[in-house]
Structure 1
């Protein structure tokens, strides 16, 4: 068991970005939103490394959920 409060702010942010990516892919898969949601969320991320991490997470969840 991990205590998330002990993580650094950067690690907490990566967890949040991963959750947002998973939710965005779920929304597209279930026709709640269109593919533009990925660009909208990505464009709101200022840090290049965080944006890259988010985009890799989106790719990971697209593959897992069978979203093209």
Structure 2
């Protein structure tokens, strides 16, 4: 068990982006939303490194979920 409050803001933000990526891929796989959801989320991320992290997480979850 980890205490997330001990993490830096950047680390907590990456965890949140990873969760958003996993949820978005799950939603597409379940046909609840279309593929445009990935671009919609990515376009709201101002920081280039964070956007790239999100896009890599999407690719990771697409592979894991067979999408």
Normalised to the residue count of structure 1, the TM-score between the two structures is 0.97
Q: In structure 1, what is the equivalent of residue 45 of structure 2?
A: 45
Distance 1:6 1:21 in 2: 23
Gaps of 5+ in 1: none
Deviation at 1:56, TM superposition (A): 0.2
Residue in structure 1 matched with residue 56 of structure 2 by the alignment: 56
CA RMSD, aligned part only?
0.3
Runs of 4+ in 1 over 3 A off after TM superposition: none
Match of 1:22 in 2: 22
TM-score, normalization: structure 2?
0.99
Aligned residues: 67
CA drift at 1:12? 0.3
Aligned to 1:59, the other structure's residue is in SS state helix
